[in-house]
Amino acid sequence: MAMIDIGKRKQLFFDDYLIESLTNAKQGLNPAVKVDDNPILQPERPWEGNYMRPIKVIFDETAQTFKMWYTASTTTVRLENGVPVPGGPAGLGTESRGNVMCLATSDDGVHWERPSLGLVAFEGSTDNNILPERENRPTAPDFQDLHEKDAGKRYKALRMTGGTQTRGMQYDLFYSPDALDWTPYEGNPVIDTGQELGRWAGRFQGWDPIRQTYYVTMEASHHWRGPYGKRLVGRAESPDMIHWTEPEIILVPDENDFPDTEFYSMPVIAYEGVYVGLLWIFRTTNVTHHPEVVFSRDGFHFQRNYREPFIPRGGARADFDSSSVYAQDIIVHGNRILTYYIGTNSRSPEIALELGDKSTEGIGLAISRLDGFVSLDGGKGWVVTDRSEDELQHIPGERQIFNVPASFSQMVTRPFGFSGSRLHLNASMAPIAAGPGPGEVRVEILRANHKKLPGLTFDDADPITTSSLAHVVSWNGSSDVSALAGESIKLRFYFKNAKLYSFQFK
């Protein structure tokens, strides 16, 4: 078997690609943490009605600011004789009026301002953040294309001409230098399904730096008319946003899902050479949504090892996100991973009617630490003895039992080669109250045949006892491992009361 060469690529722990064995440890999902200020944007201005949702969030590198395009509207339940009736957005028995597209900006991605754009009059004043509607033109981008060399095509958008509930669907491509003035591609439509059923609802698109292609992930089955009779997730690719492959279904519910489970859509990012997706889990009988984090190494075959919500729904009925959490844009910025989402507390007209003026939809944000989707979680840090835990805690001289290899959780990697001279480790000391002593991590380097290397053993390893995104691992005060670069080695991590997120040679 050829040696795995990781070079200087960061290695995450979401699967067993590089993990040979785990002892007294587990791979665990770390749900994103909602910010205290949620919803970060909610209807406050007269033109914003009672429902808001983000369409696109980016960090503009040129302006060094976050930008959010969002829609706002007044949404009410459609009633006949006091009973909700079908129709309206998504057939939910609702109707919307006063729909507007708006722009918000932020310095930190958490606290947002509504700039006075002066572009659209509302009730006689242009002192608002409403964007102008232009006939047959987008009002918001689908993505900012940093791969694009033509500045006039820096923003791109696909717009559908034709409904999702009818046969035949077309998509037109538009370009823009600033996300305000849009130019249609002269060869539109770029997608024409003819008399086939449309299958591109709920799109997320962008440039894939791993496969070096444009891509779309979408709700690919056209609801009940699809081959599986339910919503699924598909992927299509294009070298130029003009010529597209036939959508390929990439995720379907399995035997571990509830029978009413459907996949509504899935935003995806390329993260450290791995595809990270936030799969929209839709339960049709209780009308709820939440995102589940999934991973892939090729963009088509995704692992669903972690079935709990990545962003949980709110707990109280009146919480703005108690019914559904629709994950939208995932932005890696500095030492944080920001996930923006649509939150609503009234996915069904019956609940909206029950909540009355408390029925709402707002824009939420949940944050993860860098590399923090999944971690290796260390155990409590003791060895099996005849003494009770209480005795071990209080008998003088017994505490050294917690500083022998057997007292640590362990992970051993598969053999691999690397380039670089120092090993960096992203780890945190977990507040595990039941574990004796503080958190600690040590790293041992082995030959591919598991033979220990003098000077790089457990006893030589300098203990890591603090949390950091980039610990420099050392042995007897030295961190230089350049002499082993290109050779086949293994790493053995010893850790207790700690979480390991990633490692990287630099």
Is the same domain home to 273 and 173?
yes
Is the same domain home to 465 and 336?
no
Residue with tokens 């995720």: 251
Tens digits of residue pLDDT in 266-276: 999 999 999 99
For the cut 80, the answer to whether the pLDDT of residue 442 exceeds it is yes
pLDDT, mean of residues 418-430: 95
Q: Taking all residues of the chain, what is their mean pLDDT, rounded to a whole number?
A: 86
DSSP-assigned beta bridge partners for residue 282: 262, 289
| Enclosing domain of residue 93 | 33-371
For the cut 50, the answer to whether the pLDDT of residue 434 exceeds it is no
Is the same domain home to 138 and 114?
yes
Dist CA 415 CA 5 (whole Å): 9
Extract the tokens encoding 95.
Answer: 């109707």
Looking up residue 298, the CATH number of its domain turns out to be 2.115.10.20
Is the same domain home to 221 and 177?
yes
Quote the number of domains for the chain. 2
**Weakest mean pLDDT among 300-304, 314-318, 320-324, 329-333:** 314-318
- Residue 91: the pLDDT is 45
pLDDT, mean of residues 291-317: 94
Domain boundary among 321, 355, 371: 371
Is the same domain home to 309 and 172?
yes
Is the same domain home to 300 and 414?
no
- Residue 392: the pLDDT is 46
Residues 6+ apart with CB under 8 A from 165: 223
pLDDT, mean of residues 174-178: 96
For the cut 90, the answer to whether the pLDDT of residue 76 exceeds it is no
Tens digits of residue pLDDT in 77-90: 666 665 555 554 44
Burial annotation 59-82 (CB, 10 A radius, 16+ → b, else e): beeeeeebbbbbbbbebbbeeeee
| Confidence band, pLDDT 50/70/90 cuts, at residue 264 | confident
For the cut 90, the answer to whether the pLDDT of residue 204 exceeds it is no
Contact 340, 59 (CB under 8 A): no
Is the same domain home to 37 and 26?
no
Q: What is the pTM of this model?
A: 0.89
Tens digits of residue pLDDT in 8-38: 999 999 999 999 999 999 999 999 999 999 9
**How would you write 336-375 as a 3-class SS string?**
EEEEEEEEECCCCHHHHHHHHHHCCEEEEEEEEECCCCEE
In this structure, the strands spanning 155-161 and 170-176 are antiparallel
Residues 6+ apart with CB under 8 A from 269: 275, 276, 330, 332
For the cut 90, the answer to whether the pLDDT of residue 461 exceeds it is yes
Q: How many residues does the structure list for the chain?
A: 506
Domain boundary among 345, 371, 397: 371
Is the same domain home to 15 and 41?
no
For the cut 60, the answer to whether the pLDDT of residue 134 exceeds it is yes
In this structure, the strands spanning 4-7 and 416-418 are parallel
Is the same domain home to 24 and 151?
no
Is the same domain home to 115 and 154?
yes
For the cut 70, the answer to whether the pLDDT of residue 349 exceeds it is no
Is the same domain home to 362 and 383?
no
- Residue 402: the pLDDT is 54
Dist CA 59 CA 109 (whole Å): 8
pLDDT, mean of residues 146-161: 92
Q: Hey, what amino acid is at 288?
A: T
Looking up residue 398, the CATH number of its domain turns out to be 2.60.120
Domain boundary among 332, 349, 371: 371
Is the same domain home to 361 and 381?
no
Q: What are phi and psi of 143, to 5 degrees?
A: -165, 160
- Residue 32: the pLDDT is 97
